[in-house]
């Protein structure tokens, strides 16, 4: 029986110690499918995620293994024993094909782990492929005259600030995680949302990011609160106060602030990419007989930000400024309705689906994937 294609890229005896290492800190990863639909995983301790993807392609080429290059994704992998000790979690640069998770499960079962989870982290796209090389030394200048004033000595660099104290948020998260199973009950979807929020908090704590940890913990508290309010508490449970605690209200406020920043950032990124495409196409068509028609067609790109507009920003602003719980609930439903419109547009627009990947004009686009991942994230935070 022939060895599986995945062993051509990374054998299980090399993968196993790296996944064991990922229980302490994430390892760099690249994943893909072959042209025949087999899952591939490559892990590395040091190389940047984009570099690991290039390594995967090189290994496949060397082994004469045909890749489905459109399925290549890169990012990080980890096994979080507090979350699920039998699961390998991938945080990748964009949404993966629907069949990829199942195919990767077949690979990790040989290590052995039983489950795979795929999560999108858009910030990975902005990371460099390699560590930044040192700047070349300036060319030697002409000898200074003897009476020239010698240059001042370089300033003594300041000591880096100490890392933030994460003990408080770490202890708070430790009290929340055991509540997930009871709060979710038989609702697997709600349990998955809570686990993702807990994992986001864990990653932020490991990265010494107190703001990110606070936002993720606020989201987890909100999910736990909504789950507990939607089911009768067992008789042995401690009595719950009728009104929300100030910390929960503040957590929702921080979550709304974060959601607003996420949507504003996504629109700016998409707007920049679309403008870059317009500029490149206009330059290529300059002087062509069909230039006017080409420039007219470019106007269709304005539909994207016209449909994915600023109404959500306005709704989130209103939620941030509303102190009345009933009015806040109505504004939340309004924001959810706007999100639903956005999702329907991104899933039904043929033009939008084409705005991903490389173009003939030297501009790389991630419009569709950016919007899909951003809207999915917002749907889990606006509750």
Per-residue pLDDT at 118: 92
Domain assignment present for residue 134? The answer is no
Distance separating alpha carbons of residues 139 and 341, to the nearest angstrom: 58
99 with 188, same domain? no
pLDDT for residue 83: 86
When pLDDT is averaged across residues 314-328 and rounded to a whole number, the result is: 80
Residue 321, pLDDT score: 74
Residues 114 and 220 in one domain: no
pLDDT band at 233 (very low <50, low <70, confident <90, very high): very low
Where is the domain boundary, 70, 104, 126? 126
Assign 297 a pLDDT band (cuts: 50, 70, 90): confident
CATH of residue 105: 3.50.20
Determine the Cα–Cα distance for residues 116 and 351; give it in Å rounded to an integer: 32
Q: Are residues 277 and 372 in the same domain?
A: yes
Q: Any idea which residue has 């309010």 for tokens?
A: 229
Are 183 and 296 contained in the same domain?
Answer: no
Terminal-to-terminal C-alpha distance of the chain: 51
Inside any domain, residue 254: no
Question: Who has greater pLDDT, 331 or 157?
Answer: 331
Residue 147 has pLDDT above 70, yes or no: no
Strand partners, 116: 88
Give 295's pLDDT tier (boundaries 50, 70, 90). confident
Q: How far apart are CA 316 and CA 334, in angstroms?
A: 10
CB 88 within 8 A of CB 116: yes
**pLDDT per residue over 87-134, tens digit each?**
999 999 998 888 899 999 999 999 889 999 999 888 888 888 766 555
Does residue 280 contact residue 250 with C-beta atoms inside 8 Å? Answer: no
Domain boundary among 214, 229, 244: 229
What does the pLDDT read at residue 107?
Answer: 94
- pLDDT-derived band at 139 (thresholds 50, 70, 90) equals very low
Stated pTM of the model: 0.40
Cβ count within 10 A of residue 128: 10
Instruction: Find the mean pLDDT for residues 297-308.
Output: 86
Higher pLDDT, 44 or 97: 44
Quote the CA–CA distance of 184 and 230 in Å, as a whole number. Answer: 10
Structure tokens at 202: 């864990």
Question: Which pLDDT belongs to residue 245?
Answer: 34
Q: What is the pLDDT of residue 153?
A: 61
Q: Is residue 351 part of a domain?
A: yes
Domain range for 218: 167-229
Please classify residue 12 by burial: count the beta carbons closer than 10 Å to its beta carbon, then call 0-12 exposed, 13-18 middle and 19+ buried: middle
Query: Rounded to whole angstroms, how far apart are CA atoms 207 and 349?
Result: 37
pLDDT tens digit sequence for 68-91: 999 999 999 999 988 888 999 999
Query: Mean of the per-residue pLDDT values for the chain?
Result: 80
Q: Where are the alpha helices (DSSP H) in 286-324?
A: 291-298, 302-307, 311-321
Q: Given a cut of 70, is residue 318 above it in pLDDT?
A: yes
pLDDT of residue 284: 82
- pLDDT tens digits, one per residue of 155-213: 555 555 677 787 888 888 888 888 888 888 888 878 878 887 787 778 778 777 777 77
pLDDT attached to residue 159: 53
Q: What is the per-residue pLDDT across 24-35, written as a single tens digit (0 to 9) for each?
A: 999 999 999 998
Where among 74, 107, 126 does a domain terminate?
A: 126
Residues 219, 278 within the same domain: no
Most confident of 85-89, 146-150, 366-370: 85-89
Please state, in angstroms and rounded to a whole number, the distance separating the CA atoms of residues 143 and 141.
Answer: 6
Tell whether 222 and 267 lie within a shared domain: no
Total number of domains constituting the chain: 3
Tell me whether residue 148 is in a domain: no
């Amino acid at each position: 029986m022939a060895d599986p294609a995945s062993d051509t890229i990374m054998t299980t005896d090399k993968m196993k110690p790296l996944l064991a290492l990922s229980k302490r800190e994430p390892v760099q990863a690249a994943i893909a499918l072959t042209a025949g639909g087999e899952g591939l995983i490559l892990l590395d301790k040091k190389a940047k995620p984009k570099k690991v993807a290039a390594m995967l392609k090189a290994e496949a080429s060397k082994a004469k293994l045909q890749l489905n290059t459109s399925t290549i994704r890169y990012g990080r992998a980890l096994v979080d024993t507090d979350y699920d000790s039998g699961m390998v979690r991938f945080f990748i640069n964009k949404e993966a094909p629907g069949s990829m998770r199942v195919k990767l499960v077949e690979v990790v079962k040989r290590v052995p782990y039983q489950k795979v989870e795929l999560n999108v982290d858009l910030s990975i796209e902005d990371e460099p492929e390699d560590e930044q090389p040192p700047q070349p030394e300036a060319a030697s200048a002409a000898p200074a005259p003897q009476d020239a004033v010698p240059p001042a000595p370089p300033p003594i660099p300041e000591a880096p600030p100490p890392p933030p104290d994460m003990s408080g948020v770490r202890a708070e998260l430790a009290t929340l995680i055991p509540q997930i199973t009871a709060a979710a009950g038989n609702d697997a979807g709600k349990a998955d949302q809570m686990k993702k929020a807990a994992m986001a908090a864990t990653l932020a704590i490991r990265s010494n990011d107190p703001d990110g940890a606070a936002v993720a913990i606020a989201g987890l508290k909100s999910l736990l609160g909504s789950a507990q309010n939607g089911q009768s508490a067992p008789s042995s449970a401690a009595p719950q106060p009728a009104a929300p605690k100030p910390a929960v209200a503040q957590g929702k406020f921080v979550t709304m602030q974060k959601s607003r920043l996420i949507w504003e950032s996504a629109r700016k990124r998409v707007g920049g990419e679309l403008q870059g495409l317009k500029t490149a196409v206009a330059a290529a068509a300059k002087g062509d007989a069909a230039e006017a028609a080409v420039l007219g067609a470019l106007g269709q790109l304005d539909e994207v930000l016209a449909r994915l507009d600023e109404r959500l920003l306005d709704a989130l602003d209103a939620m941030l400024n509303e102190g009345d719980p009933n009015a806040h609930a109505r504004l939340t439903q309004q924001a959810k309705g706007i999100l639903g419109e956005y999702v329907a547009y991104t899933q039904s627009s043929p033009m939008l689906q084409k705005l991903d990947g490389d173009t003939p004009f030297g501009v790389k686009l991630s419009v569709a994937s950016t919007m899909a991942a951003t809207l999915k994230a917002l749907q889990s935070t606006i509750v």
